[in-house]
Chains A and B, each alone.
Chain A
Amino acid sequence: MPQIQISSDSKFLYGTLPALPIILGGVVVGWQGGFTLNGVFISLLFALFGIGSGLFLWYRHVNKLAQSNFNWAQDESRRVDEVAAYSTELERLLLTISPILSQHVMVSREHTEQEIVSLTSRFASMVSELQHIVESTDSALDGQHYHLDSVINTSRDLLQPVLESLRQTHALERDVMGGLQELSGHMVGLNSIATEVHSLTGQITQLAVNAANESPLAGEQGQGFAIAANSARQLADESLQIDQRLSNKVNEIIAAVNASLIISESSKQVDDSILFQAEANINQTLSHLGLALSHYRDDIEALRNNAEQIRCEINNVLVALQFQDRVSQILSQVENNLLNLQKTIEKIQQQGSNRDGNMIQVDEAVEHIEQNYKSVSAQSICERDSADDLTFF
């Protein structure tokens, strides 16, 4: 409630205005009753009554105003005390909180710094590991370490002579079989000769028999002829037996050669099959190995590309982590500003009851803080011209 001042307007309003009708009434009564002694007296009574009423009303109004002003003064005094207490508490609050906030900011800054250092260190290790992987895959792709190409080619080179040896062995078997077939042919010829010998021996025997039969006709002169014929027949018989054995042996040999031919033919077919299968298997194995190597190379290439991409990404992250430097500077600035605020309040507090609003230069302080933040926040990376990145003097 504001303090009320007594003015001439309030005197007119609360004193004169209510008395005026009564005074006017006395004047009117005097004028109507003629200006006799009684009329003038009555008029004066009216006027005095009006003046008395006005003074009474005025007095009552002044008393009300005095009471109101008294209440206002008490209210204002209480408010001043409250504001002073509020101001004191506010100062105490700021002085208490400011170091705590400053401490929190410092701890946050240090923790963030430590974590960023730790994070950076881990990323750096990952970059190093990825670099190692990329270099290893490069070596693998170049065949410096694993020589897989060389292994396959060497295996192929080593297996080719083996296959060639198998082919040569197979050719020798075919030659042996040809020899056996030729031998079989000769045996058939030999058998034919034996048959002819057998026929000839039969004729000799028949001739010896005929000679033996005819020898008695020659008398004593024929006895020697009979002995010779008998000897010839015995020789023919022996020759026949030998021929028979020869024929048997030839037949046995032919049978054995034919059996060997059958076995060789069978063996040849098996060998053909094995050789064909072995060659196919070797080629297939080498082909599979080549395919596996090709896939292995593709996988290594993909791994290398992925590792390279991840390494680039992590390098970008390491660049992005440099924001910590700026954050750290801003937090340092916050710490400094809190410290300045604390000093300012302590300085004002020392002035005691002489404190006034002019002691706090709010605009100047805000401008100072803004200037400091401007210097540390600078321009964002996006706003930066790449030409600013590097300058040689």
Chain B
Amino acid sequence: MAKTILIVDDSASMRQVVGIALKGAGYEVIEASDGKDALSKLNGVKIHLIVSDINMPVMDGITFVKEVKKLDHYKFTPIIMLTTEMEQEKKLAAKEAGAKAWVTKPFQPPILLAAIAKLVLP
């Protein structure tokens, strides 16, 4: 059965590029345009991994990760931050919030897929 991955990014084109890479590797994809939208989609749906941007309107990525970690059903769901940010402070904030990996945009699909493969349980 295909694993389901939630993509959270305010850029539709980025969601699409990530979606293409993930669908090509056999994953099922759910999309959300910001942190709040993503939380509304974590409604009992089985999610194996989350790929989230940081700079988003309404609710940014770090806040979103913190909110996810408060949810009993999803607190152990691995989260990858996919962002243009390169500041160490932001990386540290993401790590402290509970993110498992950090991938810098623009990304090479094999790198993202390698990170996902390492974090998603078989």
Contacts and interface: CB of A to CB of B under 8 A. Distances in A.
Contact of B17 (A131, A318, A376, A379): A318
Contacts of B111: 389-390
Given A127-B20, A379-B86, A321 B13 contact: yes
B13 A113 contact: yes
A137 to B, nearest CB: 19
Interface in B16-70: 16-17, 20, 24, 55
A321 B99 contact: no
A1 interface: no
Given A376-B84, A390-B115, A328 B11 contact: yes
Given A319-B108, A325-B13, A393 B84 contact: no
A393 B101 CA distance: 5
B12 A113 contact: yes
A378 B24 CA distance: 29
Nearest to A112: B13
A116 B13 contact: yes
B13 A124 contact: no
A121 B16 contact: yes
Interface string B74-104: 0000000000111000010011000111111
Contacts of B14: 322, 324-325
A324 B13 CA distance: 7
A324 B18 CA distance: 13
Given A319-B108, A319-B109, A329-B55, A120 B13 contact: yes
**Which residue, of B17, B86, B95, B102, has the highest number of chain A Cβ atoms within 10 A?**
B17
Interface in A336-393: 375-376, 378-379, 381, 384, 388-393
B102 A320 contact: no
Given A120-B13, A393-B102, A376 B118 contact: no
Contact of B91 (A320, A325, A391): A391
Nearest to B106: A322
A124 B101 contact: no
Interface residues of B, number: 32
Nearest to A324: B13
B102 to A, nearest CB: 4
Given A127-B20, A392-B115, A392-B118, A324 B109 contact: no
Contacts of A376: 55, 84
Interface string A98-117: 00000000000000011011
Contacts of A378: 84-86
B106 A390 contact: no
A341 B85 CA distance: 26
**Which residue, of B94, B104, B108, has the highest number of chain A Cβ atoms within 10 A?**
B104
A244 interface: no
A121 B24 CA distance: 13
Contacts of B105: 322, 325-326
Contact of B101 (A116, A388, A392): A392
B91 A389 contact: no
Contacts of A267: none
A47 B9 CA distance: 98
Contacts of B108: 319, 389
A120 B17 contact: yes
B1 interface: no
A276 interface: no
B107 A322 contact: yes
A315 interface: yes
13 contacts: A120-B20, A121-B16, A124-B16, A319-B107, A319-B109, A322-B17, A325-B84, A375-B85, A388-B86, A390-B115, A391-B102, A392-B100, A392-B102
Interface of B: 9-14, 16-17, 20, 24, 55, 84-86, 91, 94-95, 99-109, 111, 114-115, 118
Given A117-B12, A318-B109, A390-B102, 15 more contacts: A127-B24, A321-B17, A322-B17, A322-B106, A325-B9, A325-B11, A325-B106, A328-B11, A384-B104, A390-B101, A390-B111, A391-B91, A391-B102, A393-B94, A393-B101
Q: Which 5 A-B pairs have the closest CB atoms?
A: A322-B106, A116-B13, A391-B102, A393-B95, A325-B11
